[in-house]
Amino acid sequence: MLRYCLSFLTAFCFTAVFAQSDAGFPSLIPMPAQVQPANGQFQLKQQVSFSMGPGSADADFIYRQLAEKLKTAAGINTVKATGEQGDFRFDLIRPADASIGNEGYRLQVTEKGVRVSANEPAGFFYALQTIWQLLPAEIESKSPAQDVKWSLPYVSITDKPRFGWRGLMLDVARHFFTKQQVKDFIDNMVKYKYNRLHLHLTDDQGWRIEIKSLPKLTAVGAFRAERTGRWGEFKKQTPEEPRTYGGFYTQEDIRELVKYAGERFVTILPEIDIPGHSMALLAAYPELSCTPTPYQVNVGDRFMIWPGNGTFYGTIDNNLCPANEKVYETLDKIFTEVAQLFPYEYIHMGGDETYKGFWEKSSEIKALMKRENLKDQHEVQSYFVKRVGKIIASKGKKMMGWDEIMEGGLAPGAAVMSWQGEKGGIEAARLKHPVVMSPNIYTYVDLYQGDPLAEPPTYGMVRLKKSYEFNPVPKGVDSTYILGGQANLWSERLHTVRHAEYMLWPRGWSVAESVWSPAAAKNWNDFVRRAESHFRRADMAETNYSRSMYDPIVSVSKVQDSLVQVSLATEVEAITIHYSFDEFYPDRFYPAYSGPLVFPKGASSLKLVTYRNGRQVGRQINLPLEELKKRIRK
């Protein structure tokens, strides 16, 4: 793991950064370790030259990336130069500079051009992402932009990541994303220096990876009846319904994705989620359940019930049976092929949200508990996890799982991905196990990011400012055991790429800064300034994103005579909230919020909009009185 030690000199540089954080300062995300801007601009001509120092031939990919993007967006031709000349010059540092590690870089823009030095090609690649952000936003355009002054500001940057694990999880099981869509996802994540793509490949709603020795996994498990509407309220599919929705990645697809990601310095972590979340697997091989019954791939109808307080129960047994030896034989086949496809050292085995009520009734489980001296169902799960760990180890891999794999005793050598807040990660680190921090309170980017009455339906809330507070090293934890951090994009409610992008950005930018930048470099107000600049870049790239950070935060309470009182706040500074009770949507000529509002008698809704400097920045939001009353009851 890469750890960052803050020196007095670096701290001085951070001070210089924030003292100059104005409209003219480079809007870089994530914020580099050290940035020293200077006066002046390096102007790009219609043709620019490129050169690399000795020993850099294996980084030729950088040249292709540079040439393709400059041509596409700016109509600028790029040619290779000889010797040490070149408008863009990339040099390997020899001997290596230990202070910037394998992914760090030094970048200078002067009147002579752009100079990059790094220990490894990965540093070149991350420097290139910074170069794109130094250029005008039109560099993200898919066709040559007109009337653009193509220049880079003079600047000196020394940069390296805070953590070696900078991850995004994409759930391709609940809703299938094509191979090309996954490639596009990779292209978008590397812009912000992410380097781990966690693919959630299996779940109750789909099995997305070809296993040649078990063909029914995809023939049966990859497809289901199509549904439109609200997740959890869908009707169950009937036996005669055509299974028209779904898909899977062939093994050739996986190899292609691994290669594509690797060229962009991204490692893919595969997840096979077991023993729970296995209904698609059981649809193909129902004999692997402790409750043998005809199974079908779930279409999004509710079968897991969450009464609250973190408890849940299932109406269908969606678990593999830990007492069935055929389960381990099947998993051995699966992990044999998965290990051959993915070169990364870790395989994720899930382990989350295993409802054990059906196990408690199983005679097979009771016999297993007696035979193995297991005192409760947590130890039954631990027995399963430890056996899976041995299978994965036999393939030359290490096992990772969600923090529930700690229940009943953590398997030797297992790494923990902590999602239920920070508690699991803290405990795993105390036990000296590797940890990836992914707490839902900061990094679950499928949750509400604005008021639920203005957002697509989901559950829970993680506003942008909350996600920006993410620190992968909780207080009192030995950072030696923290590999890094990760944001998770679950796709139960995400039917399209546009919806997925809306949920991910800009929260994905905030998490990127949390895992790349030194903690001392983070500054919320400055991040907002930079994020606004990246909205323009996303527009040029035709990438969707949310502007919910401008919308009011609504709190509801009762006052005297049971009147409903609404308090409003904003997470962005210099925002004015205008409101109306008269059924007409307000603008800046309506009253500005200055204190708690009490619903007048006869009013049925409160309407809100936000402005900054006389310009509308937020959405028109309608808050019906009856909906607000429900929040009081909750």
> Which CATH number goes with the domain that contains 532?
3.20.20.80
For residues 282 and 326, state if they share a domain. Answer: yes
| DSSP SS3 for 632 | helix
Question: The domain spanning residue 52 has which CATH number?
Answer: 3.30.379.10
Tell me whether residue 590 is in a domain: yes
The total number of structural domains that make up the chain: 3
For residues 245 and 374, state if they share a domain. Answer: yes
Last residue of a domain, one of 159, 182, 199: 159
**β-strands 435-437, 482-489 pairing:** parallel
Residue 475 has pLDDT above 60, yes or no: yes
| DSSP SS3 for 492 | coil
| Residue 207 near residue 200 (C-beta atoms within 8 A) | no
For residues 245 and 379, state if they share a domain. Answer: yes
Averaged pLDDT, 130-147 = 96
DSSP state letters, 284-314: H-GGGSSS--------SB--EEEEETTEEEE
Last residue of a domain, one of 131, 159, 187: 159
Q: List CB contacts of 292: < 8 A, sequence separation 6 or more.
A: 286
Q: For 203-258, what is each residue's pLDDT tens digit? A: 999 999 999 999 999 999 999 999 999 999 999 999 889 999 999 999 999 999 99
Helical pair 60-69 and 121-134, crossing angle rounded to 10 deg: 20
**β-strands 415-418, 576-580 pairing:** unpaired
Active centre residues (catalytic): 203, 277, 353
For residues 460 and 609, state if they share a domain. Answer: no
Tell me whether residue 6 is in a domain: no
For residues 136 and 208, state if they share a domain. Answer: no
Q: How many residues in total does the chain contain?
A: 634
- Domain range holding 310? 167-541
Lowest mean pLDDT among 266-275, 302-311, 463-472: 302-311
Strand partners, 40: none
Lowest mean pLDDT among 20-34, 142-156, 497-511: 20-34
How many CB atoms lie under 10 A from the CB of residue 627?
Answer: 13
Strand partners, 398: 346
Q: List CB contacts of 83: < 8 A, sequence separation 6 or more.
A: 51
Which residue has 């102007």 as its token pair? 43
Instruction: Output helix, strand, coil percentages for the chain, rounded to the nearest 5.
Output: 35, 25, 40
Sign of CA dihedral 527, 530, 535, 538: negative
Q: List CB contacts of 100: < 8 A, sequence separation 6 or more.
A: 106, 118, 119, 123, 158, 159, 160
Residue 56: its pLDDT value, please?
Answer: 73
Q: For 159-215, what is each residue's pLDDT tens digit? A: 999 999 999 999 999 999 999 999 999 999 999 999 999 999 999 999 999 999 999
For residues 86 and 207, state if they share a domain. Answer: no
What does the alpha-carbon distance between residue 336 and residue 325 come to, in Å, rounded to a whole number? 17
What does the alpha-carbon distance between residue 273 and residue 379 come to, in Å, rounded to a whole number? 19
Q: Which of 545, 590, 594, 535 is nearest to 567 (CA)?
A: 594
How many CB atoms lie under 10 A from the CB of residue 515?
Answer: 28
For residues 75 and 178, state if they share a domain. Answer: no
**β-strands 563-569, 346-350 pairing:** unpaired
* Tokens coding 266: 């991204």
Kind plus residue range of the DSSP H or E element containing 567:
strand 563-569
For residues 296 and 182, state if they share a domain. Answer: yes
What does the alpha-carbon distance between residue 189 and residue 323 come to, in Å, rounded to a whole number? 41
The percentage of residues in the chain with a pLDDT greater than 70, rounded to a whole number, is: 96
What does the alpha-carbon distance between residue 208 and residue 257 come to, in Å, rounded to a whole number? 14
DSSP state letters, 185-228: HHHHHHTTT--EEEEE-EETTEE-B--TT-THHHHTTTEE----
Tell me whether residue 242 is in a domain: yes
Residue 323: its pLDDT value, please?
Answer: 98
What does the alpha-carbon distance between residue 120 and residue 123 come to, in Å, rounded to a whole number? 6
For residues 366 and 255, state if they share a domain. Answer: yes
Tell me whether residue 11 is in a domain: no
Q: Is the bond preceding residue 275 a cis peptide, omega within 30 degrees?
A: yes
For residues 409 and 525, state if they share a domain. Answer: yes
Residue 388: its pLDDT value, please?
Answer: 98
Last residue of a domain, one of 541, 563, 591: 541
Band (24; pLDDT cuts 50, 70, 90): low
Burial grade of 601 (CB within 10 A; 0-12, 13-18, 19 or more): exposed
What does the alpha-carbon distance between residue 391 and residue 399 come to, in Å, rounded to a whole number? 9
For residues 200 and 252, state if they share a domain. Answer: yes
Residue 220: its pLDDT value, please?
Answer: 98
Band (19; pLDDT cuts 50, 70, 90): very low
Query: Residue 44's Cα: distance from chain center in Å?
Result: 34
Q: Which of 175, 199, 203, 178 is nearest to 297 (CA)?
A: 203
Q: Which of 268, 342, 266, 345 is nearest to 61 (CA)?
A: 266
Tell me whether residue 115 is in a domain: yes
Tell me whether residue 609 is in a domain: yes
Q: For 588-619, what is each residue's pLDDT tens digit? A: 999 999 999 999 999 999 999 999 999 999 99
How many CB atoms lie under 10 A from the CB of residue 244?
Answer: 9
What does the alpha-carbon distance between residue 526 and residue 529 come to, in Å, rounded to a whole number? 5
Residue 265 has pLDDT above 70, yes or no: yes
Average pLDDT value for the chain: 94
Q: Considering only residues 10 and 72, tell me which one the structure prediction assigns the higher pLDDT.
A: 72
For residues 534 and 563, state if they share a domain. Answer: no
Predicted model pTM: 0.95
What does the alpha-carbon distance between residue 483 and residue 364 come to, in Å, rounded to a whole number? 38
| Residue 545 near residue 531 (C-beta atoms within 8 A) | no
455-463 long-range CB contacts below 8 Å, 24 or more apart? Answer: 455/548, 456/493, 456/499, 456/502, 457/230, 457/231, 457/493, 458/493, 462/507, 463/548, 463/549, 463/553, 463/571
